[in-house]
Amino acid sequence: MMIVLSMSNVPPKIRGDLTKWLLEIDTGVYIGNANPRVRDGLWRRVCENIGNGRAVMVFSTNNEQRMGFYLHNSERSIVDFDGFKLVKKPLPKRKAKKEQEDRAKAPFVKKRVAENNTSRKGKNGSTPKIVKNVVYSTTWKH
């Protein structure tokens, strides 16, 4: 089974250890063929010794996608969607911050008065004010 392993920010001992089973075609990128037992053993070794580094392993397997993958110390996560494995990316920090601010403002948006509606008159001749799709009368009866 084909394996591609990409790593960044890893100790040199892992890089040297992997060259026993895989071929390093570029800095931190390894390819090779190994059975599932060896593949899982290599992945376990990488995860135990990588420290703060990141690793991604892609391998061929017998499923609908014809591949599988593992992630370690990544901001991304693997999500199973009806049997398909997908990679979920986090929102960029600016968008995440903006969404959080929008959620915090949400209760106040509905209370903001948009404008006077002069085309419609209330029951007692008053001009109603429109807030989004809700019409409030300016005259109160006690």
Mean pLDDT of the chain: 78
Residues 2-88, CATH architecture: 2-Layer Sandwich (3.30)
Split at pLDDT 50, 70, 90, the class of 7 is: very high
d(CA 132, CA 111): 9
Tokens standing for residue 65: 């996608």
- Model confidence, pTM: 0.61
Q: Where are the domains of the chain?
A: 2-88, 93-136
Q: What is the pLDDT of residue 101?
A: 72
Torsion 39-45-47-52 (CA) sign = negative
- Which value, in Å, is the radius of gyration of the alpha carbons in the chain? 29
**What is the tens place of the pLDDT at every residue in 36-55?**
999 999 999 999 999 899 99
Say what percent of the chain tops pLDDT 90: 39
Q: Are 7 and 54 in contact (CB under 8 A)?
A: yes
